[in-house]
A and B are shown apart, each in its own frame.
Chain A
Amino acid sequence: MSIFSIGLSGLHAAQTALHATSGNISNVYTPGYNREVVLLGENNGNGVKVNDVQRQFNQFVATRLNAASGSLASLDTYGTQLRQIDNLLSDDQAGLAPLMQKFFSALGQMASNPGDPAARQGVVGTASTMVSQFSSFGNYLDDIGRGVNEQIAQEVTGINSLTSQIARLNDEIQLARGSEGNAPNSLLNQRDNLVHELSQRIDIRVNEQDSGSYTVALGNGMPLVSSGTPYQLQAGAGQADPTRTMVSYVDGSGNPRELSEDHFKRGKLSGLFEFRSESLDKMQNQLGQLAYSLATAFNEVHQQGVDLNQQPGGALFGIGDPSVFSHTRNTGGVEAAVSITDTSALMSTGFDIRYGDDGYTVTRRDNGKAVAVTFDAATNSLSFGGVELTLNGTPASGDRFLVEPLNNVVSQFELLITEGSELAAAQSNSTGDNRNALALLELQNQRLVQGNATFNQAYAGMISTAGNQMSVVQANLAAQQGLTDQLNALQQSESGVNLDEEAANLIRYQQYYQANAKVIETGSTILDTILSLR
Chain B
Amino acid sequence: MSETIKTDVLIIGAGPCGLFAIFELGLLDMKAHVVDILDKIGGQCAELYPEKPIYDIPGIPYITGQGICDALMAQIKPFGASFHLQEMVETIEKIGDPLFRVTTDRGRIFEIKVIVVAAGGGSFQPKRPPIPGIEAYESTSVFYSVRQMEAFRDKRLLIVGGGDSALDWTLSLAPVASHLTLLHRRSDFRAAPDSVNKMMTLVGEGKIDFVLGQVSALQGEAGQVAKAIVKRNDGSTFEIACDALLPFFGLTMKLGAVANWGMEMKDGEYIVVNTANFESSVPGIFAIGDINWYPGKLKLILSGFHEGALMAQKAHRYVFPDKRLIFQYTTSSTSLQKKLGVA
Same complex:
no
B→A interface (CB under 8 Å): none
The residues of A with any CB-CB pair to B shorter than 8 Å are: none
